Structure 1
């Protein structure tokens, strides 16, 4: 094996100035042009680092100490922040986080999209950047003879027992702790992934942010839940007003959380929540945006960019449970939604019915296959909205958009890098990117969403 040519060696201790942050929130220090990535530091800070790993073009180091700090630094309020991998930016002020996310979007628009002149607006952040998540799911295990429930330690499967998570809704914390206590009191053993023994694997809590409805989900290895009636009573007593208690069975030796069998132990199969004036039914396995406050901001911007007058035909690619589709349907003539997950399409149809929306149709399948079929049937969209996964749009879908030539494309993105790549493809095919609006859906983490609007030349 060829030796890695780097200007540093393993375990070197160096004094450096940090110059940048990666999209993963790691600080960058360069030694003779060779980048070292370091957790816990911020741009313009100086300090000592110790080299821990070397690759061909970059390496990693750990922070030993800081000599100079910047005003954007703050003390992380979470007691397990250094161990838990759930958040990456608690050591940075919220204003600093928004600036970092703006720079991330601006940089990819310059570097990948090659569009330095397209306006990128300041990030739309939250008034309160804590306690925003309406869903929590945590693994359950055994430590020192006691049941523990919490997030995995960074780069491990060791569970950090925690009583609260500062980005989860307070009632999610309560549900998880009470379910853990009730299971312990009733002799339900936690899952041991090495031996594939035990019963309870994960606990999930879902909260209707606007309605206050609460769901507890017990993910178990076995269909049999020991002392089931006592557990149901125990959870109902411990969590007053709980709407739904659900069991999901996952018998497989896998890292996938859910199994195929789901049954309601108490109450309703779903809880309800609203975003704006649209109501949604949310089951244990429904995909539903975890930050409903910012979802309304994000979809409001998508709706604004669609410029609907009531006469337009709209296609929503990657429509999920119809969240954006139903917003659009209230202002459009017709909306067609496509999504690869059949269960999500069933949810979308039910949500349309729940809201009395009759001008939205949904079909399960690959967007790049279903949309051309619609085109052959004579469906001519004025607007196409895409909200793809992190990998961005399928190339065949982008070509379909170019072939169909809608007047406007609204691109909702959870990954600035693939957004910039796809905008470049659409620009090369005859579209003009008008503007990009980043939205902070996940404060305290490195993730940033963005909405872009393109018009046909």
Structure 2
């Protein structure tokens, strides 16, 4: 991803956006959304912003090496409600594993500097390090010869000798954060000719453009494996081998939603009481995505992971802002969302000759898709997944990689039913706008989609009708979080439950409800395999009241090529203990 892609924040269910219009002379602008970084899931969008473990302000001066006061990394907004399985947790455990591995391999044969902490380079110093391992956050974990002090360096791969600039020492964790400067000696895994974005290694989005795609998939398989080793609290023998990560048909040009943004004018400070002086821009601000490791917008005119329609829309909006910048007194986020109009090949609506501005034509076997870019968060966008049709408000959550969705939904369809057993019913918890309920409904006598957000339920109902499904096939319920299964009358023995929660995973209350209901089979989809592993561990251990489960399979899907993010799919079966 060549962007920080700061989406709007989630509501509790993870499938509805809260997007506020940007302000133009105090009037809401239809094409600008003031948002904060977010992350979506498979019913919504898989993740927008790459794990940025180092997004902190640079210190003015060096920390006192003798000062062991704990430094607490500030969590990003998209992770602030994650109590276990955050990027900080993931990074810490990956570093511990690296150090343990090195100790085991060297067995004391390699001389280690006992005074490493006293010999740390001054903050701001440039040094050379060797990258030993890739963390599950996407950062390289590097060391200097003879030292067990770890340097966290973005945009590197194992085997790189890199020149970096150290900017923070965390003495309590025996680690330091550093900016990537250059490669002194490249790893055999690295080929910079693969990089397709000139902002790579500056922008905080993509991490792996220098890696062959097969190696990206291998790394994401390791991410899933580590997640279950580190966060499931399960014995290794009850966790099956992780299947190979399923790749995206498109590695670039796949992203159907981008949200570039710009900061307020110089001197602007957000004031909750609304007493901020209105200071107009004297020139067009930088419009783009966050620079890696800094709270600064990087001016980016194009993002190669966006679809062609979205990239055209990005250019159009940048041109508009260069004309209209003086109308704005605050920063905002620009929504760019692909919209598809599908027509029969003999339709008179298909333009002959030159296409309208910012329109892309895609020829299918029997139809033609005309793709445009929507910027109004309240406008309705249309997407097709195979023969299924979905409409949503442009600002709401829906999966951002349409190219992988047919493969993904087919995978789920082929595995949603157990090899044996009479399954009649589907419950789609965290149903959002109905992706799973609608694409799976034909396999069941009846299906129910449950969500705590009424607007998501309304969208799901409209999508069901668009796909020819009435309440005799599926219905959608807006339920309170504490009573999600209260309105369900299905026999648990004949029921499958699909889970697709937000990034923070399921809370204890939901998992307790699920275990008390005790469906025959559970399919858990997650945009955060670390919180997924934690929740699956709860279901497998089966402590306290309710049923317990065993894991049938685990696999990752690469919804976001070039980044360190992976979508996890876990299939579980109820363990019958009555025998």
* TM-score when normalising by structure 1: 0.80
Matched, 1:168 2:285: no
Per-residue deviation, residues 67-87 of structure 1 (Å, max 9, x unmatched):
432232122220112221121
Matched, 1:445 2:560: no
1:362 equivalent in structure 2:
476
Per-residue deviation, residues 130-175 of structure 1 (Å, max 9, x unmatched):
0001112222467872365322333445433333211001211111
Matched, 1:42 2:152: no
Per-residue deviation, residues 397-453 of structure 1 (Å, max 9, x unmatched):
111221111111101011111111111111111211011111000001111001110
Considering only aligned residues, what root-mean-square deviation do their CA atoms show, in Å?
2.9
CA contact (8 A) 1:10 1:54 kept: no
CA contact (8 A) 1:30 1:36 kept: yes
Per-residue deviation, residues 375-418 of structure 1 (Å, max 9, x unmatched):
5x566461111011111111111112211111111010111111
Matched, 1:351 2:463: yes
2:210 equivalent in structure 1:
91
Matched, 1:66 2:177: no
Q: Separation in 2 of the partners of 1:204 and 1:407?
A: 41
Alignment partner of 1:271: what SS? Answer: strand
CA contact (8 A) 1:340 1:366 kept: yes
* Aligned 1:212-231 pairs, distance under 5 A: none
* Aligned 1:131-280 pairs, distance under 5 A: 131-140=253-262, 145-146=283-284, 148-156=286-294, 158-182=296-320, 184-185=322-323, 187=324, 189=326, 191-193=328-330, 201-208=332-339, 211=342, 238-239=357-358, 247=376, 262=378, 269-280=379-390
Pairwise CA distance, 1:184 = 4.1
Q: Separation in 1 of the partners of 2:184 and 2:262?
A: 40
Of stretches 384-393 and 1-10 in structure 1, the one that deviates more from structure 2 is: 1-10
Report the structure, 1 or 2, having the larger strand content: 1
Q: Separation in 2 of the partners of 1:440 and 1:190?
A: 40
Q: Separation in 2 of the partners of 1:41 and 1:244?
A: 34
Q: Separation in 2 of the partners of 1:244 and 1:102?
A: 34
Pairwise CA distance, 1:455 = 0.6
Matched, 1:104 2:223: yes
CA contact (8 A) 2:286 2:297 kept: yes
Alignment partner of 1:452: what SS? Answer: strand
Aligned partner (choices 305, 314, 324) of residue 436 of structure 2:
324
CA contact (8 A) 1:48 1:66 kept: yes
Alignment partner of 1:189: what SS? Answer: helix
Pairwise CA distance, 1:247 = 4.2
Q: Separation in 2 of the partners of 1:190 and 1:74?
A: 44
Change (3 A) 1:443 1:413: same
Change (3 A) 1:68 1:279: same
Per-residue deviation, residues 239-276 of structure 1 (Å, max 9, x unmatched):
3578686645xxxxxxxxxxxxx4xxxxxx42322112
Per-residue deviation, residues 273-302 of structure 1 (Å, max 9, x unmatched):
211221101222231100012122222222
Q: Separation in 2 of the partners of 1:132 and 1:243?
A: 14
Change (3 A) 1:6 1:191: farther
Of stretches 174-183 and 19-28 in structure 1, the one that deviates more from structure 2 is: 174-183
**Structure of higher RCO (CA pairs closer than 8 Å, 6+ residues apart):** 2
* TM-score when normalising by structure 2: 0.64
Unaligned ranges ≥5, structure 1? 195-200, 213-235, 249-261, 263-268
